[in-house]
A = this chain, B = another copy of it.
Amino acid sequence: TKKLSIIAGPCQLESRAHAFEMASALKEICQKAGVGLIYKSSFDKANRTSANAKRGMGLKESLPIFAAIREELGLPVLTDIHEREQCAPVAEAVDVLQIPAFLCRQTDLLIAAAETGKAINIKKGQFLAPWDMKNVLAKVTGAGNPNVLACERGASFGYNTLVSDMRALPIMAGFGSPVVFDATHSVQQPGGQGASTGGDRTMVPYLARAAVAVGVAAVFMEVHQDPDHAPSDGPNMLKLKDFPGLLDELLAIDAIVKK
């Protein structure tokens, strides 16, 4: 089995300077640890809790920055798309297209993403059983793109709460695609702050370690140098300064489990 990879970056693209600062820092940490990194950032937050929340820099301004990170830092880039028309242009600038959890059943979006030929990371809907991802993955592979990943990010558990069912990881692995565990969205409290989504960042290391001990291809973590002042996902993003220590633990556990 292949060694653990990391998908990391700030929730949303804030500026070219911020993106390069974060991507460089993450690259250095991952290189030192000898682990593969995919840089993650969103150009648009299309489903915020409230219409008043910050949406991001938008597609046009963001794509050149993604392209620059790939070229200048040599990092593969992942971003999420929300509408069919975005798939082709975004695929020009990034390596992995991500399907948001709420949209994981939208057949046309999945097929348009698949047809770009890029790798597709599908977040499992909060309303979906792990075994139901079989049909979701088949929408992409059935469109001729075998390069698809299944990502666990928590299941609805009562109101305003997600629970991470660790059994979902081996169940989804049984469908043949690499499995990713999203350790920072899994600790969200959706809508938990009234007009925005809450979260509990202190739980990230526990869930990340648990998922790696179960066995995953990659861990997805939103990381920020100052999450408490980030425009989105502040309560659940990991602090950059806490990333290296957690990474070491994850790699040590990964080595045991994949022995």
**Given A163-B165, A213-B210, are A190 and B132 also a contact pair (CB < 8 Å)?**
yes
**Residue numbers in B under 8 Å from A157 (CB-CB):** 157-159, 163, 165
Give Cα A135–Cα B194 distance, bound, in whole angstroms. 8
The reply to whether B213 and A209 form a contact with Cβ atoms under 8 Å apart is yes
**How large, as a class, is the contact surface on chain A?**
35 or more
Which residue in chain B gives the minimum CB-CB distance to A250? B213
Q: Do the beta carbons of A257 and B51 come within 8 Å of each other? A: no
Provide the A150-171 mask, 1 if CB < 8 A to any CB of B, else 0. Answer: 0000011111110111110110
Specify how many copies of this chain sit in the oligomer. Answer: 4
Which residue from B46, B107, B128 sits with its C-beta under 8 Å from A51? B107
Q: Which of B46, B166, B253 contacts A253 (CB 8 A)?
A: B253
Interface residue ranges of A83-134 to B (CB < 8 Å): 83-84, 102-103, 105-108, 110-111, 125-132
Contacts of A214 in B (CB 8 A): 206, 209-210
Kindly state whether residue A82 has any CB partner on chain B within 8 Å.
yes
Contact between chains at B156 and A126 (CB < 8 Å): yes
Q: Which residues of B contact A159 (CB under 8 A)?
A: 129-131, 155, 157-158, 161
Q: Given A106-B82, A207-B166, A256-B253, decide whether A195 and B49 contact each other with a Cβ distance below 8 A.
A: no
Find out whether the CB atom of B107 lies under 8 angstroms from the CB atom of A46: yes
**Would you call A50 an interface residue if the criterion is a C-beta within 8 Å of the partner chain's C-beta atoms?**
yes
Q: Is there a chain B Cβ closer than 8 Å to A70's Cβ?
A: no
Q: How far is the CA of A167 from the CA of B205 in the complex (A)?
A: 10
Q: Which residues of chain B come closer than 8 Å to A47, judged between CB atoms?
A: 105-107
**In the complex, A54 Cα to B112 Cα: how many Å?**
18
A63 CB contacts on chain B under 8 angstroms: none
Binding site for B on A (CB under 8 A): 46-51, 55, 82-84, 102-103, 105-108, 110-111, 125-132, 135, 138-139, 142-143, 155-161, 163-167, 169-170, 187, 190-191, 195, 200, 203, 206-207, 209-215, 249, 252-253, 256-257
Listed A/B pairs (17) with beta-carbon separation below 8 Å = A48-B107, A49-B105, A50-B139, A102-B125, A128-B190, A135-B195, A156-B156, A157-B158, A157-B159, A157-B163, A158-B158, A158-B161, A164-B166, A167-B206, A209-B257, A213-B213, A249-B256
